[in-house]
Each structure stands twice: as C-alpha cells, then as structure tokens.
Amino acid sequence: MPDVSFTVDGKKLTAPAGTLLIEACKTAGIEIPAFCYYPGLSLQAACRMCVVRQEKVPKLQTACTTPVAEGQVFFTDTPEIVQARKATLQLLLGNHPLDCPVCDAGGECELQDMTFKYGAADSFYAEPKNHREEQKWSPVVYFDRPRCILCYRCVRMCGEGMDVFALGVENRGSSAVIAPNVPAGLAPDHLNHVDCEQCGMCIDACPVGALTSGTYRYKTRPWEMNHVATVCTHCGDGCKTTLGVRSTTDGAEIVRGDNRDRSGINDDFLCNKGRYAFDFANHADRIQQPLVRKAGKLEPVSWEEAFTHIGKKFRELRDAKGGDSFGVIGGNRLTNEEAYLLQKFARTVIGTNNIDHHRTADHVTFAQALIGHKDRTASLRDTKTAKSILIFGGDPTNQSPATAWNLRTNIRNNGAKLFVVNTEEIKLRRQAKAFVRLAPFGYGAMAAFLNGDDASGPSAVSNVEALAGFRDTLKATEGLLILIGSELRGSELKALIEFGLTLPGAKFALLSDYVNSKGAADMGLLPDMLPGYTPVGSEIFAEYKAPAQAGLGLLEIFDAAAAGSLSALYIVGSNPVLRYGVEPASLKNTFVVVQDLFMTETAVLADVVLPAANLYEKGGSVTNHYGDLQLVKKAGDRAGVRTDFEMIVRIADKMDAHIPTLIPFGKGLRADMGQTRGAQSGEADRHAVWLTAQNLEPRLSPFDPFAILDEIQRLVPGYDILRLQLLSGNDQHLEPAASQPLVQIGARRDLVLPSGDTLFTSGTLGHYSDMLIDLQQNSRREQLPILDQTAAD
C-alpha cells in the first residue's frame, strides 16, 4: 500500500493507506485507549474508548475501525473526546466491582489505568451493582463475572487465535455475559468437548481482572514480585515467559508465569506450560542436599565432601581404566554453556568421546543435509510471515504450541497457505489448503514420492492422482516453509530435505521436544560430533587435544555398562533409565553420578546425586529447535542447589584439571600467560587474541557462563552471535553446521526418540508439575455431574 499523509492533533503523519488509525497513532507515539481492540484479532468497535473526531464527519469515529486515507484530519484529545471516554469509564465503573485492593489485576489493569488517566472517579448511581457468581472454567482459569467489561477479547482470542472456540456470549444487554460453550446443564468447566488447550491466552488478553489464573490468584500483588523475562524450559519453541518471583526463606518462589511484556520471540503467545508449569521449581520433592551412597544408602553430605568424592573417584577411574571407560550423558534443558562445557569436560578432562544426550529429533541429519546451503533454516518468526507452509509430520498444536499459534495467525491475517502431510488427523489440518493423510509409517514413501519416485505413492496414500497434484502444487510454491516432525529421521529426513532444496527459497525447521534439544546437539553432546556438527578430530577444535575416534552413543554406553566395561557414568539433567528402559542392575558395577532436580528413576540408582538448579535458576543461553538463540535469565535462587555449570567446574577442579583451560577466565591468568607463551613459542593464545579483537574483557570467574559463551562464539561454527541482540533480550537465528561434509555414521542404532509430549506433559520434569498433572486429569474427565440449574444470572 502506498503511504498517505494525514494529520493527528496537528501533527503530520504518514502511514500505508488503509492502516488503522489506532495503529498509525501508536507508531507515532500517540496513545489512543481501547479495551476491545486487540491487534491481529477481528475488530469489535464495542468499547467506544478509541473515539476520535474526524474533520467533516458528524459523529465521533472509532480509531480502531478507521483506515487512514490521504488528507484526513483527526483530533484525539479534545475536551469532547476526553468527556466521551470519561463517560464510558463512568458507565463501566457503575457495574464494575471496585474490589481493586484484592483483585489480581490490581496494578496491571487497563480499566484502572484509564480511570487514572481520565479521572472518572465520580459516580451518580445509587443502585446496587449487578452481581453474578464467579465461575471456575478449569484448574487454571477462573472467571470473576462482575469484573468483566465485555470487550470480547477472550472470545476472539479463543476462537480466532486458538481455533478452540470455547467461549461465547450469553444473554443480551446488561445481562450479557461471557460464557463457556459447554453443553446445556453442565458445569462451566466442562470444556473437554471443545479441546480447550488451557493456554490461558484469555487471561492474558483480559484487560481487567475478570479472568484470573488458578495458579496465581490471590497469591500476591504484582508490585511485590520481581518480573524476570526468561525462556520457558518446556517445549522446543523456546518462548519467552516472564516469571513473577517472590523471595522466600529458602530462596525464591515463582508465583506466576505470563507474557507480560510481549517482547519475546513468541510475541503475544504463551501456552499452558509457559504460563503455569513452573511449579516444579517449588515442588516439595526438590533435592536440596548432595547425596552420596554409603553402605548402599544415599546419605546427605556436604558439597565439599560430594565434590571431593566424585573428583577422587573420577580421577582414579580415568587414570586406572582410561577415559573411554567413562560415559557422559547430558540433557535437553541445559543451557548451551552447560552443554558445551559438559562435552568439553568429557573430551578434555576425562578424555573420551563417549558422550550423548536423549535426542528428541535427528538434528544431526538435519544439519548434514543442509551443509553448503545458506539461509535455508527457518526461524520461529518465519512461521508468522511465510506465504506457504508445509507441515510434514509432527503436531505443532500439541508439541509446539507457539508454532501453531503463529501459523494460525499468519493464515488468518496474511492469507498464508498451509499444507499438511501427516499420518494422523492433526488439528492444524482445519486451517490447511490441503491435507494428505498418510498410511502409518508413510513418511519415507511420501518423501520418496515427492522426489519423483511415483511407485512410492501408493504406499503413502491411496489416492495417488491427487497426490501427484499435491506434489505439483508444492513444486510451484516459492519460499515454502517446511516444518518437519521429529518422526522423520535419517534417510527419510534427508530425502525430504533433498526435495525441499529443489524448491526455490524453501526453508526448513526440524521440530523437537525441549527448550534446548537443538542446543544440546549444536553444542556437541554427541559421540561423533564436536560442537557445530564438526566431525571429531576436526582442526577447528585442535586445542581440545581430544580423541579423534567417535565415542559410544547413549545406548552403547548402557550396553558397555551391562558388559561391565563402563567404569563411570556422569549424567547431567537427563533420565535415561526411564526414557530408554535401562535395566537398573546393569549399572551396578559403574560409578554413577547424577545431577538433577529430583530423585528420578536414574538418580535413585546413582552413587552420588547432586541437586541441580533448573533453567529458571540460572543464566546462559538456549537455542530453540528453529535455531533461534535466546538469553536465559536467572529468576531466583534456591537454597541447596547449584547450577550444572558450577558443578561441572567444581568436579573438574577436584580432578585437578587446569581450570583456565577448561573455562577461559581471568585477567592475567590464561590471557596473560597466553600472550607470554605466544611471544615465546610463536603459538598465540587464540582465545585472548579473539577477546581483544571482539573488544571483550576476560571473564573474572570460572563460574561465569559467559566465559564459555565467549569460547562458543569463537569456536562453534554458526554461533557467530550478535552480543547486543542477545543481551538486550532479543532472539537471533543461527545456522550451525560445519562447512565440510560430515562423517557418515553407518550401522548405528537409531538414537532418536521423540518424547511425544502433549499439551499437558513435559518429560520427566512434567511429572513434578502438579499443575500439568491437574490439567492432564482435567482433560481426561469424561462427564461431570449435571447441575440442578445453571448459575443464576
């Protein structure tokens, strides 16, 4: 649209023709108040707060429905308009219960803010306010009906935004009330039939305190919390969640998760996990003391004793049986810095490539297939703007809710075209232009068919003729965004990417399960890959002086344990015993050290258990499954736990490792020594040289994750980070992949095991979220007792 010029309050503004006045004004810094207007959702013009005066138009106009055109003249702040807004507020306040002192939204309420601005404090009414009983819609959503100002944001959010349509309007006039779409005669929380996702977006959208969260309501006042914007630990989308944290006697308590500043990669969106499933952090089963097995029993010990014990055992076993008798397993919820440090520790301190993690998707093949192709990996942000999207496997609605939200938004507001290929009838097919329902395990055949193998068509789907048409459509699509489910791996994944690479401008993303699943692979928690999918033995990591042979994979590590050849196993933030069904007896001859939050199925078998901080209790960075890097901020402390980062450093120290080599920290230590050494031997301290070139100071503490981030940025292909972006809380898209062909690993067992989490599960961590468990049970309810009568209203 061409730009047009118009005047607002005497200021000349320009905006693309057709821009809504309210948006044009926002861009120009002119605030026009509105309750019902919500960017991206359909227009209501119901609250009448955004009224403005347009020259030559007899009535006041609503800025939310007025598209700007050339030469228009508007006034947004005249006495007439101020009076109109004030009167509207007076009308609202007439029935609004002024229970602000106990209202969850007190201090964060748009109605309060507007009243503050327009001063509608006087009242003319002598009659009682309308009252209705509060309703519980779910364990996490409560509706305080009298507080509702009927802006319909929740109705639209649920219907248009979520494609759930759980909410509607009942009655009319002053009796009108938002009501859940439950069958007649059932309690208002009987929302199963509409597949309510419990996302809580209705709460976020509510401008007042009518919708409140079951986890937060009546717990605290907003100004009594610290608000920490960090990254949700659950699924692979890596949304920004703002945690409301209060101090307690043993550290901090997270009392709320929400999307307060909407500044993250997820923009408006946050799902139920980001919003409610932080409660594992406060779970009573958190381990808060190191435990060492003594006479067959895990006994609490001091940190010093635990570290000394581990250091001594690790050192002895390494020296006696060799580094390759060790296995190291990392986790999907570690920060990049921790994952990187863990593999560096394994490779340089222990001296083994026997390192792996629970792989939730085949990121290795993904990286391998895209070597040599620039700008082919998609960012989460691309899902909001791509003109055409192909979902091949996976179920974003359940597994990556922010992805699903973006797709719906993109389709609704930009007319993007969605194609879905799946063995299941996933919900996003409802928005799809075309849906190909594959036979079970049909992905490989479908990928082959797309690549031109017409014979494969029939084994993927019955109507082959339509399938050929579908292939033609995809081939004619430019800039296709291909979202690949974690069901695809190895040759199937490769074949699909090969097909996609023939399409001009196609981009890819491989969806996996947890916040740093991709980061774990990127950081080289792999037996055959160094960070950045660099083959072991590569020159890039020469300074590691690590073994050049690939190590044991996760299953091989447990095989080795069962065979009695694994002397030690170091597990950091992972529960392989449950996930892979490891036989507990197989670990009886192995010295097992586990760092975790809880006494998981793995931890109970350990010789030493170290209580770990979770993602909300530490700093660092994570990489979502799109390859978007984001900063993790520490929300609060917890007594008795330490970060995995610190524990790795402490163990390395107790093993007499040279810490400045493991963690490049300290002015005058390594940096200075390097210069001296470089001057003498001709071998420059590359890190110090790099730091100088980057204008960075050496880190002063070996526990500073940024010391390792410096090294990641220096060494890991693809992690050429823009610091300013990262530090200012923005996401940035990375494409890690070594520029050379990677070592092909043949005949190894398939190590990829998608966790198959749903909206209400989150791996082992989810077992410790009471809220997720509640929501699971809530979603399984079959039938509720029919009430004698619906609530009186």
Partner 1 sequence: MPTLVSHPDEVKVLSRRFGQGAANIDKYLELDGYKAVQQAIAEGPAWIIDTMKASGLRGRGGAGFPTGLKWSFVPKNDKAKYVLVNGDESEPGTCKDHVIFREDPHAVIEGTMIAGLAIGSKLGFIYLRGEYRYLLKIVEKAVAEAYERGFLGKNIFGTGVDFDIITQTGAGAYEVGEESALMESLEGKRGVPRIKPPFPAVVGLYGGPTVINNAETIASAPHILLMGGPAYAALGSERNGGTRLFGISGHVERPGVYELPMGYNLKKAIYEVAGGVKGGKKLKAVVPGGSSCPVLLPDELDVGLDFDQMGKAGTMLGSGGIVVLDETVSIVEFALRVISFYQHESCGWCIPCREGTDWIKKTLTRVYEGGGQKKDVANVQYLAENMMGRTFCPLGDAAAMPTLGFVKKFRQEFEDYIDGKKAGTPIITEQLHVGAH
Residue type, 693: A
> Which pair of tokens denotes residue 35?
């309750």
Site for partner 1 in 302-331 (CB under 8 A): none
**From 2, 10, 173, 785, residue interacting with partner 1 (rule: CB under 8 A):** 173
Secondary structure (DSSP) of 325-346: GEEEEE-TTS-HHHHHHHHHII
Span interacting with partner 1, options 38-46, 224-232, 353-361, 635-643, rule CB under 8 A: 38-46
* 8 Å CB contact between 573 and 648: no
* Non-local CB neighbours of 87 within 8 Å, separated by 6+ positions: 120
Containing 93, the helix (H) or strand (E) segment is helix 79-95
> Which pair of tokens denotes residue 608?
């030493």
Beta bridge partners, 569, equal: 327, 592
Q: Decide: is 48 part of the binding site for partner 1 (CB under 8 A).
A: yes
Q: Which is nearer to partner 1, 132 or 633 (CB)?
A: 132
CA nearest 359: which of 550, 610, 601, 625? 625
CB of 718 to partner 1, least distance (A): 48
| Whole-angstrom distance, CA of residue 53 vs CA of residue 85 | 12
Q: Which is nearer to partner 1, 60 or 555 (CB)?
A: 60
Q: Decide: is 87 part of the binding site for partner 1 (CB under 8 A).
A: yes
Q: Decide: is 127 part of the binding site for partner 1 (CB under 8 A).
A: yes
Q: Decide: is 175 part of the binding site for partner 1 (CB under 8 A).
A: yes
**793: which DSSP letter?**
-
CB of 30 to partner 1, least distance (A): 20
List phi, psi (to 5°) of 611: -70, 125
- The 3 state secondary structure assigned to 317-329 is HHHHHCHHHEEEE
**From 17, 28, 46, 743, residue interacting with partner 1 (rule: CB under 8 A):** 46
Q: Which is nearer to partner 1, 12 or 59 (CB)?
A: 59
Q: Decide: is 78 part of the binding site for partner 1 (CB under 8 A).
A: no
Q: Which is nearer to partner 1, 111 or 287 (CB)?
A: 111
CB of 115 to partner 1, least distance (A): 12
**From 25, 92, 232, 615, residue interacting with partner 1 (rule: CB under 8 A):** 92
Angle of CA points 355, 656, 682, to nearest 5°? 85
Residue carrying the six token digits 């170091």: 570
CB of 412 to partner 1, least distance (A): 16
Q: Decide: is 176 part of the binding site for partner 1 (CB under 8 A).
A: yes
Q: Which is nearer to partner 1, 51 or 577 (CB)?
A: 51
Q: Which is nearer to partner 1, 124 or 218 (CB)?
A: 124
User: Count of alpha carbons within 13 Å of 594, Cβ hemisphere only?
Assistant: 25
Site for partner 1 in 144-163 (CB under 8 A): 149-150
Count of Cβ atoms closer than 10 Å to residue 681 Cβ: 8
Provide the strand spans (E) within 205-277. 211-213, 226-231, 240-248, 251-258
| Whole-angstrom distance, CA of residue 78 vs CA of residue 93 | 22
Q: Kindly list the distances between the CA atom of residue 507 and the CA atoms of 201, 406, 763, in Å, as whole numbers in the listed order.
A: 29, 16, 29
Q: Decide: is 792 part of the binding site for partner 1 (CB under 8 A).
A: no
Max intra-chain CA distance, the chain: 92
**From 7, 17, 26, 60, residue interacting with partner 1 (rule: CB under 8 A):** 60
Determine the straight-line distance between the first and last CA of the chain, rounded to whole angstroms.
48
Span interacting with partner 1, options 42-50, 263-271, 481-489, 784-792, rule CB under 8 A: 42-50
**From 84, 252, 370, 493, residue interacting with partner 1 (rule: CB under 8 A):** 84
**From 1, 101, 126, 539, residue interacting with partner 1 (rule: CB under 8 A):** 126
Span interacting with partner 1, options 126-134, 234-242, 487-495, 591-599, rule CB under 8 A: 126-134
**From 5, 27, 78, 123, residue interacting with partner 1 (rule: CB under 8 A):** 123
Beta bridge partners, 388, equal: 417, 480
Q: Decide: is 54 part of the binding site for partner 1 (CB under 8 A).
A: no
Q: Which is nearer to partner 1, 155 or 515 (CB)?
A: 155
**From 169, 639, 700, 727, residue interacting with partner 1 (rule: CB under 8 A):** 169
**From 7, 14, 65, 220, residue interacting with partner 1 (rule: CB under 8 A):** 65
| Whole-angstrom distance, CA of residue 216 vs CA of residue 214 | 6
CA nearest 708: which of 538, 531, 536? 531
Q: Which is nearer to partner 1, 48 or 494 (CB)?
A: 48
Q: Decide: is 688 part of the binding site for partner 1 (CB under 8 A).
A: no
Containing 419, the helix (H) or strand (E) segment is strand 417-422
Span interacting with partner 1, options 23-31, 80-88, 370-378, 699-707, rule CB under 8 A: 80-88
Site for partner 1 in 96-115 (CB under 8 A): 98
| Whole-angstrom distance, CA of residue 245 vs CA of residue 768 | 19
Q: Decide: is 59 part of the binding site for partner 1 (CB under 8 A).
A: yes
Q: Decide: is 413 part of the binding site for partner 1 (CB under 8 A).
A: no
Question: How many residues of this chain bind partner 1 (CB under 8 A)?
Answer: 39
CB of 171 to partner 1, least distance (A): 7
CB of 3 to partner 1, least distance (A): 22
CA nearest 367: which of 667, 778, 736? 736
**From 12, 56, 172, 297, residue interacting with partner 1 (rule: CB under 8 A):** 172
| Whole-angstrom distance, CA of residue 732 vs CA of residue 432 | 29
* Non-local CB neighbours of 672 within 8 Å, separated by 6+ positions: 688
Site for partner 1 in 733-772 (CB under 8 A): none
CB of 125 to partner 1, least distance (A): 6
**From 29, 128, 415, 785, residue interacting with partner 1 (rule: CB under 8 A):** 128
Q: Decide: is 21 part of the binding site for partner 1 (CB under 8 A).
A: no
> Which pair of tokens denotes residue 713?
């940025």
Containing 780, the helix (H) or strand (E) segment is helix 770-780
Chain residues that interact with partner 1, rule: CB under 8 A:
43-48, 51, 58-60, 65, 83-84, 87-88, 90-95, 98, 123-130, 149-150, 169, 171-176
